[in-house]
Structure 1
Amino acid sequence: MKKLLYIFTIGFGLLTSCEKGQLVENTTYEKLEPSSTKYSYLKFLNASPGSPTINYYINGVKFSAAYTTSGREIGGFAYNGLFPDLGYATSVVGSQTLTAKTLSTATTDPGLEVLNATITPEGGKFYSIFTNGLYNTTTKTIPNYTIFEDIKPATDTSKVFIRLINMYTGGPTIDMVQDATGEKLVTALAVGTASPWVSIPNPGQSNKYAFRNSNTNLAISTVTLTATLIKGRAYTIYTRGIFGNTAFPFALGFYTTFYGTVN
């Protein structure tokens, strides 16, 4: 029997929140087989330090947002904001225009376009798109974006899978080390790149990770990552911040990329 996947289609309906904090669901759901080639699957993370709160648009149509019942835009994604929190949002396939704009309700520069790019996602594929680089307050733009294809790791419900994405702007290449054992899980990862998936056969041994300059073997920061990881899932761990910038120092985050590697 084929297993089926339910993906919420942001382009066809949006979540609407009431003034009193109630959530009204009017999202349309479509029954899809896993990795259906009818759509591409997108996830966004705003890794641009200093960025205003933004929403994403595909071909001029709002792709991410939250509204009150009166139609007032209230939600968006500031620095370190992830959309969607769970899974991926579906999108059309092929060449399309990706833009980001400040909230229409913002006090400063409402509805201002701060990013304009062309992406070409393929049908049936999953992508993470990181807007990054220090927000330019003069030109009022997000200077860069990086797109990663998210390929599911091999099926194994006895292991945890992780990868590292390095968005520490201006920083060195990075080693990711399991704190308890000293084992290098990722070696010499350059800024703007993602490591392959790495399996952790015994995630209960240590969920604490340190990050080192691969050239000097010295800790990049006293900041470490302690995470609760569940077997059978794949996680993206990412670095962010601006090298030498005290307002936006080295920082870490992680999210579940795939829920269960046996869809």
Structure 2
Amino acid sequence: MKTKYIILTVVLLSITIFSCKKNAVQNIARPISGAQIKYFNFALNAPVINFYANGTKVSAASSTTGAESSTTGIAFSTVYPSTNAYTVIASGSYDFAAQRPSTLTTDANLSIANLTKQVDDGKNYSIYLSGIYNTTTKKTDIFAVDDVLPAVDTSGAYVRLVHTSYNANAFDLILKNTTTNVETPVATNIAYKSASPFVKVQQGVYDLILRYPNTTANIVVRTAVSVTKSNTYSFSLRGDITLPYTGTAVNRPFIDNTPNR
């Protein structure tokens, strides 16, 4: 039932911000059912982009003029939608493009990544820009994962690991309860451009720890992440693994926490 409310909310929002202007945000066929998709810009040094599906914009900030903003869109390290909602499009095969804003004086409408993907009614997907943006070719990596969401479970939460760091080896993800210090492995040997299945964990506050398989050294850590029962989370590694994960460097290794539901 919650999924239906999310679909309805997103459709109503899309209709509200729709305009007959060429650069307005459009809802493909305005479906009342369809595939649900989240979009991530986790490519290092990537510029602001918007996502298109078969030439129709499917992610953007709303506009009061109908003209596309040259600065507002999905910047590096951000997600659309940023909440636990998804966008909705009709099922079918799409060419998804991460495209520069049309109002730029340089590289207007330039696609920096393309992905052909079949999406189906009633299913959820996440599309990630990943790797590092090449300033010469003006391209970056892109991949999609199927979000096989478990049924809502009031006795616990579900989590997974998505690996988007192009220069990092495969990782294990361990959740360390900050109250009991008990460590729970939840993902094993997850390589670049892949995701683990969702795994049930108990509600609590956890340190998220990434280690190389069969080792004990902590490589990337994010502390004090709250995990709430009935919810589902994607923990996504992004950044340059050669940098220390501490500090404030934009490109440092970092474990993003995005709720799927």
Q: Which residue identity is paired with 1:5?
A: Y
Q: Is the 8 A contact 1:165 1:236 kept in 2?
A: yes
- In structure 2, which of residues 84, 96, 99 is the aligned counterpart of residue 98 of structure 1? 96
Partner of 1:5: 5
User: Residues of 1 paired with 2:59 and 2:208: CA distance?
Assistant: 32
SS at match of 1:9: helix
- In structure 2, which of residues 29, 42, 55 is the aligned counterpart of residue 47 of structure 1? 42
Alpha-carbon displacement from aligned partner over 1:197-226 (angstroms, at most 9, x marks no partner): 11112x22x4222111224332213x4242
Q: Which residue identity is paired with 2:149?
A: K
Residue 242 of structure 1 pairs with residue 258 of structure 2: no
Quickly say closer, same or farther: Cα 1:225–1:146, change in 2 above 3 A: farther
Cα deviation for residue 248 of structure 1 reads: 2.4
Partner of 2:157: 160
SS at match of 2:50: strand
> Between Structure 1 and Structure 2, which shows a larger proportion of helix residues?
2
Partner of 2:213: 214
Give 5+ residue unaligned stretches, structure 1: 17-25, 259-263
User: Residues of 2 paired with 1:2 and 1:230: CA distance?
Assistant: 16
SS at match of 2:65: coil
Matches within 5 A, 1:1-263: 4-7=4-7, 8-9=10-11, 13=15, 15=17, 32=32, 36=33, 39-74=34-69, 75-86=72-83, 87-106=85-104, 108-142=106-140, 144-179=141-176, 180-201=181-202, 203-204=203-204, 206-221=205-220, 223-244=221-242, 248-258=251-261
Cα deviation for residue 137 of structure 1 reads: 0.5
Cα deviation for residue 71 of structure 1 reads: 2.2
SS at match of 2:96: strand
Alpha-carbon displacement from aligned partner over 1:3-42 (angstroms, at most 9, x marks no partner): 94342138953648xxxxxxxxx999x795xxx4xx1111
Quickly say closer, same or farther: Cα 1:138–1:27, change in 2 above 3 A: closer
TM-score, length basis structure 2: 0.81
User: Residues of 2 paired with 1:63 and 1:214: CA distance?
Assistant: 38
Give 5+ residue unaligned stretches, structure 2: 19-25, 245-249
TM-score, length basis structure 1: 0.80
Quickly say closer, same or farther: Cα 1:232–1:170, change in 2 above 3 A: same
> Percent identity at matched positions?
30
SS at match of 1:13: helix
User: Residues of 2 paired with 1:2 and 1:43: CA distance?
Assistant: 17
Quickly say closer, same or farther: Cα 1:109–1:11, change in 2 above 3 A: farther
Number of corresponding residues: 241
Deviating beyond 6 angstroms after TM superposition, the runs of 4 or more aligned structure 1 residues are: none
Q: Is the 8 A contact 1:50 1:135 kept in 2?
A: yes
